[in-house]
Amino acid sequence: RRSGYSVSSGERKRMMVKPCACDDPAGVARAVLLGRAPPVAAAAGNAVLDVLEDGLLAHVHRVGDWFAAAVTGLHHPDVAGVRGAGLLRGIVLNREVAPRVVELALSQGWVLNAPRPDVLRVAPPLIIREADLEPFVNALPGWLERTDA
């Protein structure tokens, strides 16, 4: 198996399996942090690190940048811009209609929220593709226009 990254130093390092007598989840977490992970926790940690090494972070940045460019590219008068990084994005609006847009989006199966009256927060799964987000981008102008009524 490949190794992952040490959180503290950034050096390539594999989680080591060391003796641990932990019956509760908090004890397992402490054991992992102290480098005394039970075999199952060490295997799970290594599996996560393998996925990260396989390009998940690059994928997240690529799709997130595409999404921001697609929303900005709508040139909709109600969209002031897109902020954030990766797939955690905030669509900044020129009007305080975000809660109404959230209602409309939820009614069509899109999960997002409005942390501020003029911001839509979008946080899709990290494995989402551009093709999965394209219907959202296409629907956004309609939702914004329906807030005028």
Instruction: List pLDDT tens digits, range 91-146.
Output: 999 999 999 999 999 999 999 999 999 999 999 999 999 999 999 999 999 999 99
The more confidently predicted of residues 47 and 20 is 47
Instruction: Please state, in angstroms and rounded to a whole number, the distance separating the CA atoms of residues 116 and 99.
Output: 8
pLDDT at 50 over 70: yes
pLDDT at 7 over 50: no
State the DSSP string of 9-31.
T--EEPPPB------SHHHHHHH
Instruction: Please state, in angstroms and rounded to a whole number, the distance separating the CA atoms of residues 41 and 36.
Output: 10
- Contact indicator for 126, 56 with CB cutoff of 8 Å: yes
pLDDT, residue 6, reads 38
Q: Determine how β-strand 4-5 pairs with β-strand 12-13.
A: antiparallel
pLDDT band at 83 (very low <50, low <70, confident <90, very high): very high
- Contact indicator for 97, 78 with CB cutoff of 8 Å: yes
- Burial class of residue 138 in the structure, from the number of CB atoms within 10 Å of its CB (0-12 exposed, 13-18 middle, 19+ buried): exposed
**Dihedral of CA 9/15/17/23: which sign?**
positive
